[in-house]
Each structure stands twice: as structure tokens, then as C-alpha cells.
Structure 1
Amino acid sequence: MQLNSDIAAVVTGGSSGLGAATARKLASHGVKVTLFDINEEAGQAVADEVGCRFVKVDVTSDESVTAGLDAAEAAHGPARILINCAGIAPVAKTTSRGEPHPMDMFQKVINVNLVGTFRCTTFAATRMAKLDPITEDGERGVIVSTASVAAFDGQIGQVAYAASKGGIAALTLPVARDLSKSGIRVMTVAPGIFETPMLRGLSQEVQDSLGQQVPFPSRLGRGDEYAQLVEVILQNPMLNGETIRLDGAIRMAPK
């Protein structure tokens, strides 16, 4: 897919981190971007900076996602790109201090990260499938979701997060197969340890220690490096149905 001003995109979790970096990358090509997030202040700030549109959307709600897609389409036309970056990462063990894992926390993580990703995917794909193809291969759209190396190397206390991200990785191939006849490609990126608002809240010493765990380059990943991979995925028509680790060869230790 050629990235230009004829293309509209939706980026969930677009108010910060990987989502914001991806919005900047897409906008640099002229793509008309709409950001979805629940953080209205931060989302509008990114939208003002990038020159795109912000819509307050809760990915756990059918009505909210539908309204967000309607608003995006009214502003920019039908979206041919969906980038799923919305997610949360609370920490709790399976059992700790004689207490089981809080089930409401587990359900919330699954609902936001996994169900929210699929909700945006199925709602956006249903609209994309009705569009005319725009390439000689018959491509109508591309969906890129965000898993994590935790899907494969989940650490102590990451049981809910790892389960949600593992689910996103597992969805990738069957969703790509489902959407193949509609000319919609589906990919997932599994980042390692990246600079995010959560990590930037830690001391520089802790950030440096985390970065040193990465074989090469021995540092935290940067949002623009995630966005660069998304850019390549969007432009390369043979990338479909796969999860790509973006992690500097790290394999996470138990803790």
C-alpha cells in the first residue's frame, strides 16, 4: 500500500508511546490519521502536534468504537489502515501472600488488550471489506496489532498481560486467513523493552539497567523504531499473517 494523502488511518492508544510515534510516521507521508484513546488531554495534544484528529474512544465498548469509526470516516473518509496500540499492563502474581490473582484485574487486562484489539479489528475490517481495492493485488486495507515479547517470555507477575498479548499473537494468522478474500492483510508486532510513558517514569538508573539486558543494541527501543516497522509492513504486500518480534534479540528472564 502506498502511504499518501489518499489514505486514512486509525491508531488506537494514540495519545502516547508507540501509538503516538506511529501517528507521526503516518502523518509524515500525508496519511490522514485519527487517534483513538481514553486520555482526552494527551490525545488532543498529540493530534494538535501531528495535525490529525482525536476521538475519545473506549476500546472495551462496541458503541464507543463504532462512534469513533464513524467520526474518523466523516473527517477523513473510510480507514484503510488500523493500528492497534491500546493496552494496559498491571502486575499481579497467580497467587501472592495467600491471596489469588484479582480476577477483576485479569478480566480487565483481557478485555482491554485482547478483546479491545479484536473489537477494533472486526469493526474496522467489516468497513474495509466494502471498499474498492487500491492495488493490482486487490488490497483493500491493512491491520497491524501490538503484542509483546511477554506473549512468549512472560515474566513473574505478567500472567494477565502475557495471556492478553499471547492471544493477540494467536489471533493474527486466523484473522489474516479470514480476511484474505477481502484483500485485507493482518500483522502483529511484538515489541521488547521500549521507551513508554510507564518506563520513562522510572529512574534513569533503572532504565539503563533494563536497556543493558538487550543483547544489541543494548538500550531501550524507541517509538520511532516501532513506527518504522509498521511503515514497512504497510508498504510490503507479502507481509501477512505473522507476528514479528522487535526486541534486539532479548529473551526475557523470569524476573
Structure 2
Amino acid sequence: MTLHENRTGTATTPDQTNDPTQPFQPEVIFLGTGTSVGVPSLGCHCDVCTSDDPRNNRTRCAIVVRLPAGNLLIDTPPDLRSQLLREKISLVHAVLFTHEHVDHLYGLDDLRLFPFQLGHAIPLYCEPDVEDRIRRVYDYAFTNRTQTHPGSRPQLCFERITHDPFEVLGVEATPIPMRHGPHFDVLGFRIGNFAYCTDTNYIPPDSIERLRGVDTLVIDALRYKSHPTHFSVDEALEVIREVKPRSAFLTHICHDLDHGVVEQQLPDGVHLAYDGLRLPLSQ
């Protein structure tokens, strides 16, 4: 599976998956590309937070991978409902989780309507610590108490994953173990020749090997200044130089980076991602 960038906005929308009159094009859709507080940041009046450039409006990080078998969501940020509405994504078939932090998890309840369409609980692919957090935060989803009405709580089922490759929606997903500061292990994911590695400031050598040969790499790059739990732009560029993807996109971006300015400063083949960016996947 090879990835090619599309900035024209002409990609097939997710709701056309079952329309026989429309050609299906697998793609990656960036729901959000911002840091944990989003951009604009509350109370901030900097040039980026007050910018007229829509690419500087960054909601919390997530992507959807549109596949022939359905829409694969990676993470459930607090902005999930508005993100799915914005991108006209009316159904999610499965979810992968990178880690348990609030900005990647706390939109989970927005999945509550989808089991009516699916006819079954939504599968959540995650490690045990993420499952434990979900069971604690969303304890009402797992009670034995009789529901007052259908849909009163999310219908969720867990698919525990390890660091071994696994199948989801007809494709193989390879976990990329990474570090997110001194206290957290997180996962990136490789699907075909596309890899998504957000929320990290260290990718160990074994994981770098798992990224070899990717066509497109999406990687954390919070700002230019160093940070204890995220790559800086320069640190992300070092990883990109080592992995050597054909193209790379920086995500989890804070208000220190003005899209129009930074885009002009990046090396060839490296771009800032932005909310709503679509990257078609071709077999």
C-alpha cells in the first residue's frame, strides 16, 4: 500500500464507501493535528492563535484510515464529534489507541451511536493499561445494570494487542513501541507503507527498524524548543533522515508553529499536517 499526498480537496468522502457509482479510494484523514490544549489555546492572543489561516486551527490529534472494510479510527480525542461531522464521517468500524492520555481518549463516548448501525459493539484495539483506564473512566459502559433505553451507554468490546502485528478491518497493523517522556510507553502504528507516530520523544532502535521502508511517516513535532515528552521539529527531522520515507508530515503541533511560515522552512518532502488533510492510499 503506497501513500500519495493530495492537497486538492477532491478525495472521495467517507460516506461514499458503499455507493457503487463512486470509485473507492483508501485514504488517511487527519481529524486533528494539535497539542493537548488545541490551537487556538484558550486565553492566548499570539499570532498563531489569532491567525486567519485555517491550517493554524488545530484540534486534538486523531486520524481515520479509510479502508475497503471500513473506517479505522486512531484515538478518540475530546473534539471527536465535531471532527467526524466536519469530515462527514458517519460511521467508525474499529478504533486503535496509541495511549491513555486525556487528549487521545476522552471523546470515546461520541462512539455511542455507531453500534446501532454496526449491529454490534465497537471493537477497541489497545494495550492493557489503556483498557484499564477506559474501564475506570467509562465505568458506566460496563455495568450490569439494565439500560433505561437503547444507546444509554456505549457498546464497547476490547481486542487486546501486544507489540506483535495484528489484523484489523482486513489489513495488518504493526505496533511501533515508543517512549512519551519518562513515565509513559505509547504505540505508533504502521499500516502497509504508512506509519503514524504521535506523542513521542524517543523511538528505540527496534522500532526504527519497524519503520524502515515506509512511504509516508507521520511524526510528533510539538515546536522548535525541546520538550520533555515530545519531539521538537529538529528531533523529528533527525528521525525522518534516519527512516528515509518518501514524504513525512509533522503532527501534535502547538501554537509556536505558524503553518505558512514553518512550511516554507522544512526540507523537501516534509510538511506540517493540518486538520482535514487527506492523503490517498493506493494499493
On whether the aligned pair clears a TM of 0.5, the verdict is no
Q: Which has the higher contact order (CA 8 A, sep 6+)?
A: 2
With the shorter chain as reference, the TM-score category is: 0.3 to 0.5
Higher normalized helix content (fraction of residues): 1
Higher strand share: 2
**TM-score, structure 2 length as denominator?**
0.35
